[in-house]
Protein backbone atom coordinates (compact mmCIF):
# COMPACT_ATOMS: atom_id res chain seq x y z
CA UNK A 1 0.00 0.00 0.00
CA UNK A 2 1.17 3.51 -0.71
CA UNK A 3 1.86 5.87 2.14
CA UNK A 4 -1.05 8.25 2.60
CA UNK A 5 -0.04 10.14 5.69
CA UNK A 6 -1.33 13.45 4.38
CA UNK A 7 -4.79 12.00 4.11
CA UNK A 8 -4.93 10.50 7.56
CA UNK A 9 -7.33 13.15 8.83
CA UNK A 10 -9.52 12.95 5.78
CA UNK A 11 -9.79 9.22 6.00
CA UNK A 12 -10.68 9.54 9.68
CA UNK A 13 -13.55 11.83 8.78
CA UNK A 14 -14.92 9.50 6.16
CA UNK A 15 -14.31 6.68 8.57
CA UNK A 16 -16.64 8.33 11.04
CA UNK A 17 -19.38 8.25 8.43
CA UNK A 18 -18.71 4.62 7.78
CA UNK A 19 -18.96 3.95 11.48
CA UNK A 20 -22.26 5.71 11.86
CA UNK A 21 -25.45 3.72 12.19
CA UNK A 22 -28.06 5.21 9.86
CA UNK A 23 -30.78 4.43 12.38
CA UNK A 24 -29.52 6.09 15.55
CA UNK A 25 -26.99 8.30 13.77
CA UNK A 26 -24.24 7.55 16.21
CA UNK A 27 -21.32 5.19 16.06
CA UNK A 28 -22.23 1.54 16.05
CA UNK A 29 -23.01 -0.24 19.24
CA UNK A 30 -22.40 -3.91 18.58
CA UNK A 31 -22.42 -3.63 14.77
CA UNK A 32 -23.96 -6.41 12.73
CA UNK A 33 -23.86 -6.99 8.99
CA UNK A 34 -26.91 -8.02 7.00
CA UNK A 35 -26.90 -9.78 3.60
CA UNK A 36 -27.10 -6.56 1.56
CA UNK A 37 -23.79 -5.52 3.08
CA UNK A 38 -25.01 -2.71 5.29
CA UNK A 39 -24.16 -2.44 8.95
CA UNK A 40 -26.30 -1.35 11.87
CA UNK A 41 -26.29 -1.56 15.63
CA UNK A 42 -27.70 -4.89 16.68
CA UNK A 43 -30.37 -3.28 18.84
CA UNK A 44 -31.30 -0.62 16.27
CA UNK A 45 -31.81 -3.21 13.61
CA UNK A 46 -33.94 -5.43 15.77
CA UNK A 47 -36.05 -2.42 16.71
CA UNK A 48 -36.92 -1.84 13.06
CA UNK A 49 -37.62 -5.49 12.39
CA UNK A 50 -41.03 -5.81 13.94
CA UNK A 51 -43.23 -6.87 11.03
CA UNK A 52 -40.98 -7.15 8.02
CA UNK A 53 -37.30 -7.53 7.51
CA UNK A 54 -35.80 -4.90 5.28
CA UNK A 55 -32.63 -2.88 5.20
CA UNK A 56 -33.31 0.60 6.62
CA UNK A 57 -30.65 1.97 4.33
CA UNK A 58 -31.14 0.43 0.88
CA UNK A 59 -34.58 -1.02 1.59
CA UNK A 60 -33.74 -4.48 0.41
CA UNK A 61 -36.55 -6.68 1.62
CA UNK A 62 -35.71 -10.02 3.15
CA UNK A 63 -38.31 -12.77 3.05
CA UNK A 64 -37.06 -14.28 6.25
CA UNK A 65 -35.16 -12.83 9.13
CA UNK A 66 -31.53 -12.71 8.06
CA UNK A 67 -28.93 -14.16 10.30
CA UNK A 68 -27.19 -11.37 12.14
CA UNK A 69 -23.48 -11.72 12.12
CA UNK A 70 -21.58 -9.53 14.44
CA UNK A 71 -19.06 -7.55 12.49
CA UNK A 72 -16.08 -8.07 14.75
CA UNK A 73 -13.76 -6.09 12.55
CA UNK A 74 -16.08 -3.11 12.49
CA UNK A 75 -16.63 -3.44 16.20
CA UNK A 76 -12.90 -3.22 16.80
CA UNK A 77 -12.60 -0.22 14.51
CA UNK A 78 -15.44 1.52 16.34
CA UNK A 79 -13.76 0.93 19.68
CA UNK A 80 -10.50 2.24 18.34
CA UNK A 81 -12.19 5.25 16.82
CA UNK A 82 -14.09 6.08 20.00
CA UNK A 83 -10.87 5.89 21.96
CA UNK A 84 -9.18 8.18 19.49
CA UNK A 85 -11.78 10.88 19.21
CA UNK A 86 -12.40 10.95 22.98
CA UNK A 87 -15.89 12.39 23.32
CA UNK A 88 -16.06 14.75 20.39
CA UNK A 89 -13.04 16.79 21.24
CA UNK A 90 -10.84 17.76 18.38
CA UNK A 91 -8.35 15.13 17.45
CA UNK A 92 -5.22 16.24 19.20
CA UNK A 93 -2.62 13.72 18.36
CA UNK A 94 0.13 15.45 20.30
CA UNK A 95 -1.58 15.44 23.68
CA UNK A 96 -4.38 12.95 24.26
CA UNK A 97 -6.05 14.70 27.21
CA UNK A 98 -8.92 12.28 27.32
CA UNK A 99 -6.76 9.26 27.78
CA UNK A 100 -6.61 9.29 31.56
CA UNK A 101 -5.85 5.63 31.87
CA UNK A 102 -2.69 5.80 29.83
CA UNK A 103 -1.65 8.95 31.65
CA UNK A 104 -2.27 7.42 35.01
CA UNK A 105 -0.32 4.30 34.21
CA UNK A 106 2.41 6.39 32.64
CA UNK A 107 2.87 8.57 35.70
CA UNK A 108 2.95 5.61 37.98
CA UNK A 109 5.75 4.28 35.86
CA UNK A 110 4.33 0.81 35.34
ZN1 LIG B 1 -27.78 2.39 15.83
ZN1 LIG C 1 -28.81 -2.45 2.73
Ligand 1 centroid to residue 92 C-alpha, Å:
27
Percentage of the chain modeled with pLDDT above 70: 65
Ligand nearest to the CA of 33: 2
- Of 21, 69, 23, 72, nearest to 47 by C-alpha is 23
Inter-residue contact 31 to 71 (CB < 8 Å): yes
Global pTM reads: 0.65
How far is Cα 5 from Cα 72, in angstroms, rounded to an integer? 26
pLDDT in tens, 28-62: 999 999 999 999 999 999 999 998 999 999 999 99
Distance (Å) from CA 2 to ligand 1 centroid: 33
Ordered domains of the chain (ranges, CATH): 27-86+94-108 (3.30.40.10)
Nearest ligand (C-alpha, residue 43): 1
Which ligand is nearest the CA of 22, by number? 1
Amino acid sequence: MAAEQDESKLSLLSLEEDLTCSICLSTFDCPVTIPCGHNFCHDCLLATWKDSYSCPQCRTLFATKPELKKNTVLSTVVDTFKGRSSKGEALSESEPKGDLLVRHVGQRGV
